[in-house]
Amino acid sequence: MGQTLAEKILSEHAGRAVRAGEFVIASVDVCLVQDGTGPLAVRQLQKIKLERVAHPAKTVLFLDHAAPSPRKELSNDHALLRRFAKKTGAVLSEVGDGVCHQIIPESYLGPGDVHVGADSHTCTGGALCAFATGMGSTDVAIAMALGKTWFRVPETFKIRVEGKFRDGVYPKDLVLHLIGTIGADGATYKALEYSGGAVEEMNMSGRLTIANMAVEAGAKVGLFPSDDVTTEYLRTMGRGDAFRPIAPDPEAEYERTIEIDASTLEPTVSFPHTVDNTRTMSQIRKMDPVKIDQVVIGTCTNGRLEDLQVAASILKGKKRDKDTRLLVAPASRSVLTAALKDGTLQALIDAGALVLPPGCGPCVGVHQGVLGDGEACLTTQNRNFVGRMGNPKGLIYLGSPATAAATALAGKLTDPREVI
Amino acid sequence: MEKMKGKAWAFGDDISTDHIAPGRLFHLRSNLPELAKHVLEDADPEFASKMNKGDFVVGGNNFGLGSSREHAPTIIRMAGISAVLAKSFARIFYRNAINVGLPVIICNTDRIGAADELEVDLDAGVVHNLTKKKEIPFAPLPKVMQKILEDGGLLNHIGKYGDFNLD
């Protein structure tokens, strides 16, 4: 019987061949918690006197959601995580290092790994062909301490993408289109598995964007094959020896197959207040203009060098609309450094951007760009729920870095194809 | 398990963890009793002051979508809600709820209105809508989750056995 990527990776970690629907105990290779979920995880382990980690070098505690800390309560939470790291030998990723889901692929994760994290966007690691999924603090605390957890092996939806992306259309538009088509609960409990010509040609930055949003369709994981793009990425990160090729078996069984022709896609935007409330630019052009008060480029979804470069190519030599704030948050220190070296940041700053420290930025509503009542924000992040950016009276629109840049120039939702 | 009895508080589809425990209260995550005073505040600002211990939260589709924050089911339980009933749950919330000992029930919530009196029998797998005089059946939890819930959540389970004991 052929296996999907999810079945293959979980079989290796359960020590026996497993099929969709089975419950398994599987070993876990890489764990993360962050400053919003880590303190609870640590306290849970303290409660049952299990304050240890099974794999210290691959257990990472991230200070990224409130970085630097805006309040004493959060400073104390940071201190708790720093103490836990010292005590157990786990790795601490300090304020300013960047977002967990950027640093894990850069420095820790490899194809075929099982990765759990106390953050829903842990599924980002699926881009590297790792079974990567988000869980709560207690689940991850136990996985950190024991080096294993339980899973129900998910059924898989195959997402086959053929055709070439047109100019101005990006992987972000593809994933928003997919979620708009199947719905925010369209893949609940399932694995998504991407394949096809457009996927083979897609760089790691685009794959990470798509894998990051698997959870926005309810999925447990969004998996890409481990191929030439994977080996090239790992080599660039100085971890070439972490590579091994992994592909699904040809006769693997899929619950559903979804075909997408990339050449028919348009720039796509999620409207408030759910990710599946999508509209294409053709539809938006027929509407009354949507005024935007703040544009955010960054986050674990679209805060990579390639994302900032796309935005800079549109904004270079121009100015943001005077009534539209522009915030840019590189996803990690290495992204910040690279964007500084190649002139990308200078172009963004000259266009009127405020550059935030590497981290989650305004995405979680903790700090650095909380919306006012009735204000609208176009952001490259993954979520637009009521209250997400710190104010239940704020309006959040999701789009690609190109759409964000075009919108910052015009001060209203704008098709990037009008300015490239 | 004993039967649970209380009033239904009806919320619609897509109640996210941001509705339940919003990011603007991030700094209260290490002060759960205080955070619990704000439970579901961004769906209904008066909910915490109106509800009584033993009541039920009733949702539609995809209850608990979004963030992995376990604080969301934790503060629902701390506020005194006996169970959450919905047509479907987001995966992480569902697993978190069981881990923190909050019963979550997948059933046809179209048959429950605001303020209906409910009696939930977890063992028999049935919700009695006492107001509408209707019985709403539901499927039992997967065995693994039933075991964790019976042990009072994942922490108690691991505390008791020192390891997973789910067979």
Q: For chain B, first and last CA: distance in Å?
A: 21
Respond yes or no on whether the N-terminal peptide bond of residue A273 is cis (omega within 30° of 0). Answer: yes
pLDDT tens digits, A199-224: 999 999 999 999 999 999 999 999 99
Task: Inform me whether the pLDDT recorded for B167 exceeds 90.
Answer: no
Q: Residue B95: which of A119, A136, A370 has the nearest Cβ?
A: A136
Strand order in the sheet with A294-298: A278-280, A268-270, A395-398, A376-379, A294-298, A325-329, A354-355
> Do residue B23 and residue A365 have CB atoms under 8 angstroms apart?
yes
What pLDDT sits at residue B1? 65
Q: CA angle, B44 as apex, B41 and B48 as ends, to 5°?
A: 60
User: Given CA atoms B18, B24, B29, B31 in this order, what sign does their dihedral have?
Assistant: negative
DSSP-derived secondary structure letter, A166: P
A268-418 topology per CATH: Aconitase; domain 3 (3.30.499)
Taking residue A297's Cβ as centre, other Cβ atoms within 10 Å add up to: 31
Q: What mean pLDDT comes out for the span A153-157?
A: 98
What pLDDT sits at residue B62? 97
Please indicate if any CB of chain B lies within 8 Å of the CB of A77: yes
DSSP-derived secondary structure letter, A187: T
| Residue A31 parent element (H or E) | strand A30-34
> Do residue B68 and residue A119 have CB atoms under 8 angstroms apart?
yes
What pLDDT sits at residue A147? 98
Taking residue A195's Cβ as centre, other Cβ atoms within 10 Å add up to: 19
pLDDT tens digits, B107-130: 999 999 999 999 999 999 999 999
pLDDT tens digits, A185-202: 999 999 999 999 999 999
**B26 confidence band (pLDDT: 50, 70, 90):** very high
- Which of 46-65 (B) contact A at CB < 8 A? 61-62, 65
Q: A159 forms bridges with which residues in the sheet?
A: A194, A258
- Sole residue written with tokens 């999925």: A219
Assess contact for A160 and A290: CB atoms under 8 A: no
Q: What mean pLDDT comes out for the span A396-403?
A: 98
Task: Inform me whether the pLDDT recorded for A121 exceeds 80.
Answer: yes
C-alpha–C-alpha distance, residues A367 and A365, integer Å: 6
Which of B35, B42, B77 minimizes the C-alpha distance to B57?
B77
Task: Inform me whether the pLDDT recorded for A401 exceeds 90.
Answer: yes
> Do residue B24 and residue A366 have CB atoms under 8 angstroms apart?
yes
Question: Three-state SS for A409?
Answer: helix
List of chain A residues whose C-beta atoms are within 8 Å of the C-beta of residue B166: 23, 25, 150
**A64 confidence band (pLDDT: 50, 70, 90):** very high
Please indicate if any CB of chain B lies within 8 Å of the CB of A142: yes
Q: What mean pLDDT comes out for the span B51-61?
A: 98
What pLDDT sits at residue A1? 78
User: Given CA atoms A290, A294, A295, A297 in this order, what sign does their dihedral have?
Assistant: negative
Please indicate if any CB of chain A lies within 8 Å of the CB of B86: no
> Do residue A48 and residue B62 have CB atoms under 8 angstroms apart?
no
Rounded to two decimals, the ipTM of the complex is 0.97
Assess contact for B54 and B5: CB atoms under 8 A: yes
Q: What is the DSSP string of A313-353?
A: HHHTT----TTSEEEEE-SBHHHHHHHHHTSHHHHHHHTTP
CATH (one of 3.40.50.2000, 3.30.499.10, 3.40.50.1950, 3.40.640.10) for A5-261: 3.30.499.10
Interface contacts A/B by beta carbons within 8 Å = 147
C-alpha–C-alpha distance, residues A336 and A394, integer Å: 28
> Do residue B26 and residue A44 have CB atoms under 8 angstroms apart?
no
Strand order in the sheet with A156-162: A221-223, A191-195, A156-162, A256-261
Q: Report if pTM > 0.95.
A: yes
Q: What mean pLDDT comes out for the span A226-247?
A: 98
| Residue A379 parent element (H or E) | strand A376-379
Q: What token pair was written down for A185? A: 């609960």
Taking residue B16's Cβ as centre, other Cβ atoms within 10 Å add up to: 27
Q: Name the E strands within B16-154.
A: 56-58, 83-86, 104-106, 117-121, 126-129, 134-137
Residues of chain A with CATH 3.30.499.10: 5-261, 268-418
C-alpha–C-alpha distance, residues B41 and B20, integer Å: 6
Measured in angstroms, the CA of B91 and the nearest CA of chain A are apart by 6
Q: Name the E strands within A39-125.
A: 59-62, 91-93, 114-117
Which of A28, A62, A26, A15 minimizes the C-alpha distance to A144?
A28
Q: Residue B42: which of A152, A370, A392 has the nearest Cβ?
A: A392
User: Would you tell me the crossing angle of helices A401-410 and A305-315 to the nearest 10 degrees?
Assistant: 30
**CB neighbour class for A189 (10 Å; exposed up to 12, middle 13-18, buried from 19):** middle
C-alpha–C-alpha distance, residues A113 and A131, integer Å: 6
What pLDDT sits at residue A33? 98
Which of A177, A41, A160, A58 minimizes the C-alpha distance to A114?
A58
Q: Are strands A325-329 and A294-298 parallel, antiparallel or unpaired?
A: parallel
Q: Residue A37: which of B24, B28, B68 has the nearest Cβ?
A: B68
C-alpha–C-alpha distance, residues A398 and A379, integer Å: 5
Q: Which domains does chain B have, with CATH numbers?
A: 4-138 (3.20.19.10)
How does the average pLDDT of chain A come out, rounded? 98
